Chain A
Amino acid sequence: MKPQREAMTRYDGPVDVCIIGAGAAGSTLAKELAEGGMTVVVLEAGRWLDTQEDFLNDELAMLDVLNWDDPRESEGNNPLKLGRTNTGRAVGGSTVHFTAMKLRLHPDDFKLKTTEGIGVDWPFGYEELEPYYTRAEDFVGVSGPRDMPWPGNRDSYPQGALSPNAGDEVIAEGFNKLGIRWRMTPHAILTGEKEGRSPCMNYGFCAQGCKSDAKGSALVTWIPAAVKAGAEIRESCFAVRIEQDPQGLVSGVTYLEEGQPRFQAARLVMVCGYAVESPRLLLNSGLANSSGQVGRNLMVHPGSIGFGRFERPLDNFITPPVGIMTQDPYGTQPSRDFDRGYILNRYSMFPIEFATTLVASNPEMWGSRLHQVMDQYPHWTILTSVNEMLPNPENRVTLGETKDANGVPVARVTMNYNQNDKAMLADSDRTIEEVFRAAGAEEILMAHGQYHVLGTCRMGEDPATSVVDPWCRTHDEPNLFVCDGSVFPTVGAVNPSLTIEALAIRTAEHILKIGQ
């Protein structure tokens, strides 16, 4: 990686495109736009880490390295924990710590308003995004099964599926007894060779930064290709404000590099900071908000987290954190008393995450009770759900009262679950407990979590009710784009990185087309 960085093109003066954020969206855009012949500078607040030199196989040591842990105000009845599990800070963004699940939205997800009268429709359908899903999967090298039985998946993946671990084996037994279909989760993790990257060695330390490049984070996939195509990645550069000229166009970005203010002029500015930092930057810049929609409709994926203890040791922490999955509970089902649904997947946690997750949801879990559970660490496996949340304008990102170390107002994040969210969590709790009982678990414990941050800069046709158009261009400023998880009108019950990358390829293709 070092030689690649030394050979990188550097730009002095105005460029065609300035991208803010080098995560799943920003690095995909950088590659596609640079390959299309545009001059591209990417500003990334985090560092450009080396997988071999900088990543350690240690849970604690990596916490301060990979996560966006700047101050944020978090409030509401279901306040978000921000950093670790949802927002990254590094070249590669959250994909450096993600679990690499690569799932497509289902075709039904794009038309909820039309078909069910809930939420909002996407401005286009699944068939529009389908070719871009395929391109993203092929490029990062997704491994997965050959016969996914659920809608919106391909028949076979570029690489064969990962191996199950012992925790998967016992959970599969529970699924089988209940007649629930399951498959190994498609992952951006190689099981064979691909362009100098080696197959997965089952280190288990995916969330601490994969040392072997087997995990297809943006850091080892889109970024090297972007640099090769002539994009410049500027690490440790924090965007403070997007500037506007008297004609109403944006003119570039003011950013801080080692505390020094700098300015990058650009014909196009693309905000790719994910669903907390993107609206924060727009609000701090006073842009794209004539609708008052910037920051609104924040969505997460609430999740049930079940811990099942088995007589046999499982050493569940071996292999990537996510194993087999089922999408059978996906979408609205007439037998249930709530809208939409969830997926379930086997999960693993190293000791810190294991203990802190349990403690956060179980007020009795301290003292000797904590030891009783943790001293059986090799005997537990974990089954989690990813639940769909519908948009609610009152769940939102605004500017807080406090300022960060650079004097920039921080984001205030407000989250309250509604009755639908609570009913769905109760149902996913029940299903997980049933699976564990069927699998023969000796003890079951439950906790709740929240994954991903999405929404806040909705995509749509109507400038009165959305922030960006179907091509991710802001309705208000014709040369300002927002392209990341913030533009999702609804979020399905799947991890978002694949959809973010597919959207970014589609957006880049459009920009190159209209630029000609």
Chain B
Amino acid sequence: MKPRISGEEFDALRKPWDDKVAAVIDQRFSTNYSRASLTHFTDQEASSLRAFAHALVPESEGLDLLGWLDHSIGSHLGRGDWKPGMPPELELYKEGARLLDELSSGSPFESLPEDQAETTIRSLQNDETGKYFMERFFERILHGYYSHPRVWMRIGFYGPSYPEGYIWLRLDEVQKRHERAAGWDRS
């Protein structure tokens, strides 16, 4: 897929960023969230959850989204509410991995063809714990995916604007900006 923002254009956007924000975003760029080994999950849990993450967000940017989730466990990501009666966060993900395999009629979730994976996901949404697991797991995966600069380039988000500010505000200005950008002809 042709990104809306080219590498060259992104480099130009990056130039004025302050050091702190540049370091945070460069780190995402250089690691792609990949982890040598996961801290919180067994191999079987990891394969089911990795396949589930890919079904929810079929990414083609080479990101390790389960690696991101593994790394982020323990951080609240700005949200402290939890549903009474549900297992604590890590247990919820482990229970979710078990449910995915169980709802896939005994086969591991990652081995399912696309249409059967879809059926499993629908069953998951009809199970109380499964639904809550999917909500929280999906939300966390989305945080990793949509904060990665490669994904910003794909969708056309310019990232940090400080200190120069985005200077194109109105319809005509935005249109001119897009006409110069790499992905304009796609839309």
Q: A56-B20, A366-B56, A370-B57 are in contact. Are A355 and B142 (CB under 8 A)?
A: yes
A148 CB–B CB distance under 8 Å: no
Q: A318-B169, A319-B169, A378-B178 are in contact. Are A211 and B78 (CB under 8 A)?
A: no
| B81 A166 Cβ-Cβ under 8 A | no
Bound-state CA distance A319–B166 (Å) is: 8
B76 to chain A, nearest CB (A): 4
Cα–Cα, bound, A412→B21 (Å): 36
Asked whether B116 is an interface residue with its Cβ less than 8 Å from the other chain, the reply is: no
Taking a contact as CB atoms under 8 Å apart, the answer to whether B80 and A58 are in contact is: no
Contact indicator A400/B21 (Cβ below 8 Å): no
- Near A by CB (< 8 A), chain B positions 148-170 give 151-152, 154-163, 165-170
Contact partner of B157 (CB less than 8 A), chosen from A61, A75, A317, is: A317
- Beyond A165-B170, A203-B165, is A57–B21 a contact (Cβ under 8 Å)? yes
B166: which of A73, A318, A400 is its contact (CB, 8 Å)? A318
Complex Cα gap A283–B171 (Å): 52
- B169 and A359: CB pair below 8 A? no
Q: Does A158 contact B (CB under 8 A)?
A: no
- Interface residue B125 (Cβ < 8 Å from any Cβ of A): yes
Contact A83-B79, Cβ < 8 Å, known A205-B161, A356-B143, A376-B187? yes
A351 to B156: give the CA distance in the assembly, Å: 10
Interface residues on B, range: 35 or more
Chain B: minimal CB distance from A430 (Å)? 26
* Stretch in contact with the other chain, from A62-70, A289-297, A326-334: A62-70
**Contact indicator A359/B139 (Cβ below 8 Å):** yes
A16 interface residue, CB < 8 Å from B? no
Binary flags per residue of B70-89, CB closer than 8 Å to A gives 1, else 0 = 00000111111111100000
Assess the A82–B55 pair: CB atoms within 8 A: no
Chain A residues with CB under 8 A of B77: 60, 63-64, 69
Q: How far is the CB of A200 from chain B (nearest CB, A)?
A: 9
Contact A371 B58 (CB under 8 A): yes
B155 touching A367, Cβ below 8 Å = no
Q: Tell me if B44 is interfacial: C-beta within 8 Å of chain A.
A: no
Residues of B within 8 A of A368 (CB): 58
**A353 — nearest CB in chain B belongs to which residue?**
B146
Measured CA separation A71–B83 after assembly (Å): 10
Q: What are the residues of chain A within 8 A of B125 when measuring CB–CB?
A: 363
The segment from A254-262, A308-316, A457-465, A491-499 that touches chain B is A308-316
A381 to chain B, nearest CB (A): 11
Among candidates B24, B80, B168, B187, residue contacting A70 with C-beta atoms closer than 8 Å: B80
Assembly CA distance A177 to B163 (angstroms):
38
Q: Which one, A314, A356, A375, contacts B174 given CB within 8 A? A: A314
Are A377 and B155 in contact (CB-based, < 8 A)? yes
* A67-89 interface code vs B (CB 8 A; 1 in, 0 out): 11111111100011111100000
Verify if A401 is at the interface (C-beta below 8 Å from B): yes
A514 contacts partner chain B, Cβ-Cβ < 8 Å: no
In the complex, chain A residues whose CB is within 8 Å of the CB of B35: none
Q: Of A163, A205, A412, which one neighbours B162 at CB under 8 angstroms? A: A205
**Cβ of A82 and Cβ of B156 under 8 Å apart?**
no
Closest beta carbon of chain A to B33's beta carbon, Å: 12
Residue A413 at the B interface, CB < 8 A?
A: yes
State in angstroms the CA–CA spacing of A400 and B20 once bound together: 39
Contact residues of B between 13 and 57, Cβ < 8 Å to A? 17, 20-21, 24-25, 55-57
Closest-by-CB residue of B relative to A313 is B178
Per-residue 0/1 for B87-123: is the Cβ within 8 Å of any A Cβ (1 yes, 0 no)?
Answer: 0000000000000000000000000000000100100
When distances are taken between beta carbons in the complex, the residues of chain B under 8 Å from A400 are 84
Which residue on B lies nearest to A201, using beta carbons?
B165
Cβ 8 A contact of A375, one of B81, B155, B161: B155
Contact between A84 and B166 (Cβ–Cβ < 8 Å)? no
Q: Is the CB of B152 within 8 A of A351?
A: yes
Q: Is A444 an interface residue (CB 8 A)?
A: no
A69 cross-chain contacts in B, Cβ below 8 A: 76-80
Determine which of B21, B80, B83, B145 lies in contact with A68 in the assembled complex, contact meaning CB atoms within 8 Å. Answer: B80
Determine if A377 and B139 form an interchain contact, defined as CB atoms under 8 angstroms apart.
Answer: no
Which B residues touch A312, using CB under 8 A?
171, 174-175
Q: Could you give 24 example pairs across A and B, Cβ below 8 Å?
A: A56-B20, A58-B147, A64-B77, A67-B80, A68-B80, A70-B80, A72-B81, A72-B82, A73-B81, A73-B84, A74-B84, A75-B84, A82-B79, A164-B170, A166-B173, A202-B166, A202-B169, A203-B166, A204-B166, A318-B161, A366-B138, A371-B58, A374-B155, A377-B155
* 10 extra A-B contacts, CB within 8 A, seeds A69-B76, A166-B173: A57-B161, A58-B25, A58-B160, A64-B76, A75-B84, A204-B161, A359-B142, A368-B58, A370-B56, A400-B84
Give A residues with C-beta under 8 Å from B.
56-61, 63-64, 66-75, 79-84, 163-166, 169-170, 201-205, 211-212, 312-315, 317-319, 350-352, 354-356, 359-360, 363, 366-368, 370-371, 374-379, 400-401, 412-413
Which 4 A-B pairs have CB atoms at the shortest separation, nearest pair first? A57-B160, A63-B78, A69-B76, A74-B81
